[in-house]
Amino acid sequence: MASQPPIPIRLARRATDAVDIDPDGPRRRVLVTGLGTFWGGRVAQALEANPAVEVIVGLDTTEPTIELERTEYVRVDANYSILSRIVQATRVDTIIHTFLVMDPTQMSQRAMHEINVIGTMNLFAAASAAGSTVNNVIVKSSTMVYGCAPEDPVWFTESTPRSRPPKESIERSIEAVEGYVRDFAEDNPHVNVALLRFSNVIGSELETPLTRLLQLPVVPSIFGFDPRFQFVHEDDVIKSILFAFDNDLPGVFNVAGDGLLPWSEVAALCGKRTVALPPIGTGWLTTPLRQFGLLDLPAEYEGLLKYGRGVDNHRLKNFGFRYEHTSTQAVEAFIRAVRLRKVVGENEPSYRYERDVEQFFRHSPAVRRDRRQA
Amino acid sequence: MPPENSDSKKAHSSQRHSEPPLKNLAAALPVETADSLNEQATLETALGLDESNATNRELVRLPKEQPRNPDELEERRRSDVNEWGRSEHMREIARRVYDPIYRRWFRVEWEGLEKIPPGGALLVANHAAAIPSDAPVIMHGIETELNRPVYGLADDFFRTIPVVGTLWNRLGGLPAHPDNAYRLLREQDQLVLVFPEGTKGPSKTYNERYQLRRFGRGGFVEIAMRAGVPVIPIAVVGAEESMPTLFRIPSVARALGVPYLPVTANMLLAGPLGLVSYFPSKFKLKVLDPVYFDVPADRERYSRSRVMDESEAIRDHIQAALYKMLRERRSVWFG
């Protein structure tokens, strides 16, 4: 696993020393996994604005894609074999684990297993090692863990067990991850663990199997079924992670917008027609289509296109969280973003991570980091 | 979690959220966090740039969408499918189509409808006919007579049939999951219809008509107890004769993966059309006295023996009412 020599970590002591802070408030040292992903990057970006956060260390296999000011990026291998050293060295108190692959179409099963299961295992091994300073863990999971079956309730609460054992690798993988989270929470009662289960995320930027389906010329459905879908806007996802961070939320929380939308209505909102796939042998038909790259419908979504899934979001709301979007509004935000992209094209940010430059700005004595002067 | 803990959190954050709405979402939500933390959002980078031109150096600077005020989560829906999948529009069409069948074909007569109290209640009835005709009759009847929607809980097998499953859902049908029943009864004060016999009721053959099967494991009693609502037993006469099962073919049923495969008199007379045509038997429904359980709601578990006793008592009650109604019935077709 030591193919890449770990980059020695030097903390941005000087940079943070200059930040004027509330002397009474505790300063938090945060580790964010998946810094190069959409979620990790945006969470780190938001945390940087929080003066109560002293240190942000971001791990990933790939470089960050958004510009970060004081987050320390550490390149690691997919399953974090050097993690315990990082935790020891940085003495982080909070781990925000966003690096979980929920989209099985993007990589092989094996790669996904390495990232999700082995990565989480190592993460928690490091967090529960002797002398660990971690006392807060936030994990970004998915409502996929509830599965999808005809005997499901319309609304899953956090304690409803899934109806059938998981079949697809992504579901098994998420279930294994949640198993590690549970074990960790049980073995370390002094650590506050928040497990956030996100529903189908949609919004202006993120790409998921569902957003790809909704951008096809015609939207596939399954004949005779009009399942109901729940969505959560990407901003609400970030907001809920920060909410869990600020309030030290304990336990499991569903994060999903209000309301369930029939798939036909989602397609209608997008201004698309649906085309019905046969209800029997759907897999036989979609596999060749997938081979030709015409349709990217992972097996988990076939169940979803029949029965849908709804989760109860009251628990998080009862703690005071306010959503900015309902399911419908999340879809509408997505549609507006698609319309705009159609006209102006992909608006790729031009930021590219340059290690030397980033190191310079963080650590060079030549850079003035006094934040109070401006 | 300790309750006082969650309460204080709630108070804290609601106070936080009553601050003026967020004005700017330029850098992926840091503003809100910063606002809440003493306006310390001095987001100057090490470069000395301020955040508005530092976060994204895009060719065209796209303004981020403004977050809306969470108090005004107004929605523009394209359909009226509610949170349970029920559509009032579809219901209206179904009412118009079904009303002649209800009034002219089955000539449904109710007795004791006034016993259904306002608020949530679990309706429990005997179940019959190969393709059950009692559920639509009860749902349509209560909806038109009392002007209250009824949510029918059905075997989840229903949901796996294309078109039928979706239609059933749009017309107020749900998979029989205790969570569904609890939420409807406890939180929304709705009427929920359940057939505790399950598929054992409609699958029985004609010679066993009006003899109630086992009432499951008494789950319906437990649901009513947990939701703190009464059970209202309903005795239905007429459904058995509307589509009588002559015999069953278990081997084919297994091969097809269906719970039971009946051969009905309707099929023998009308062929495949027999699947969708009922005999015009006279329907009489009798609402029995509501059964209130004197137990606290929201318990994790209830005494198993108590649940089984109540379940058995309700079953006996319906059975006795059925025998009484059958004794008074002069004709299958004219009541």
Predicted local confidence at residue B78, as pLDDT:
84
The model's pTM is 0.81
CB contacts < 8 A, A to B, total: 204
For residue A323, which residues of chain B lie inside 8 Å, CB to CB? 70, 73
Q: Which of B93, B47, B86 is nearest to B174 (CA)?
A: B86
Question: Mean pLDDT of successive 10-residue segments in chain A (374 residues)?
Answer: 40 38 70 91 92 91 86 84 86 92 82 89 89 91 92 93 88 92 93 95 88 91 94 95 93 94 94 90 79 77 91 94 93 92 75 80 78 45
Task: Give the per-residue pLDDT at A188.
Answer: 92
Q: Where in chain B is the domain with CATH 3.40.1130.10?
A: 88-328
Residue of A266, A282, A371 to mutate, interface with B, max B Cβ within 10 Å: A371
Q: What residues of chain B lie within 8 A of the CB of A344, using their CB?
A: 60, 62
Annotated domain spans of chain A: 27-373
Q: What's the rounded Cα separation, in Å, for the pair A331 and B322?
A: 52
Helices vs. strands in chain A: H and E counts, helices first = 14, 13
- How many residues in total does chain B contain? 335
Q: Which CATH number fits domain A27-373: 3.30.1490.20, 3.40.50.300, 3.40.640.10, 3.40.50.720?
A: 3.40.50.720
Look-up of token digits 């081997």:
B251
Cβ atoms of B294 and B183 within 8 Å: the answer is no
Which run of H or E residues covers position A252?
strand A251-255
Question: C-alpha distances in angstroms, A33 versus A93, A108, A122, A356?
Answer: 14, 20, 12, 22
C-alpha B142: how far from chain center: 15
Residue pair A68/A58 in contact by the 8 Å Cβ criterion: yes
User: Can you tell me the distance from the alpha carbon of B308 to that of B286, in angstroms, rounded to the nearest whole number?
Assistant: 23
CA–CA dist A142, B25 (Å, integer): 25
Q: Which of A45, A192, A338, A372 to mutate to test the interface with B (most CBs of B within 10 A)?
A: A45
A278: contact with B, CB 8 A cutoff: no
Provide the pairing of β-strand B231-237 with B284-287: antiparallel
Task: Find chain A residues with C-beta within 8 A of B65's C-beta.
Answer: 204, 333, 336
Q: How close does chain B come to A131, measured CA to CA in Å?
A: 26
Q: Give the contacts of B105 (CB within 8 A, at least 6 positions apart).
A: B278, B280
The answer to whether the CB atoms of A319 and B6 lie below 8 A apart is yes
Task: Judge whether A369 is closer than 8 Å to chain B, CB to CB.
Answer: yes
Please report the residues numbered 209 through 268 in chain A whose beta carbons come closer than 8 angstroms to any beta carbon of chain B. Answer: 222-226, 228, 235, 238-239, 242-243, 246-247, 249-251, 258-262, 264-265, 268
Q: Does A357 touch chain B (CB under 8 A)?
A: no
Residue with tokens 């809440």: B36
CB A30 within 8 A of CB A53: yes
CB contact under 8 A, B25 and A322: no
Cα–Cα distance for residue pair B299/A53, rounded to 1 Å: 42
Name the residue of chain B whose CA is nearest to A22's CA.
B38
- CA distances for B144 relative to B121, B148, B313, angstroms: 17, 8, 30
Please tell me whether residue B121 adopts helix, strand or coil conformation: strand
Q: Is A323 on the interface with B (CB under 8 A)?
A: yes
- Please indicate whether, in this complex, the C-beta atoms of A224 and B165 are within 8 angstroms of each other: yes
Q: How far apart are CA B243 and CA B16, in angstroms?
A: 62
Q: Which of A48, A264, A362 sits opposite B30 (nearest CB)?
A: A48
Give the CA angle between residues A107, A109, A115 to the nearest 5°.
75
List chain B residues with pLDDT less than 70.
1-75
Pick B34's closest partner by Cβ from A49, A160, A260.
A49
Q: What is the CATH number of domain B88-328?
A: 3.40.1130.10
For residue B162, list chain A residues with Cβ-Cβ distance below 8 A: 222-225, 279
Look at residue B60 in the predicted model and tell me its pLDDT. Answer: 53
**Interface-testing mutation among A42, A319, A361, A364, with chain B (most B C-beta atoms within 10 A):** A319
Flag if A154 and B32 touch (Cβ within 8 Å): no
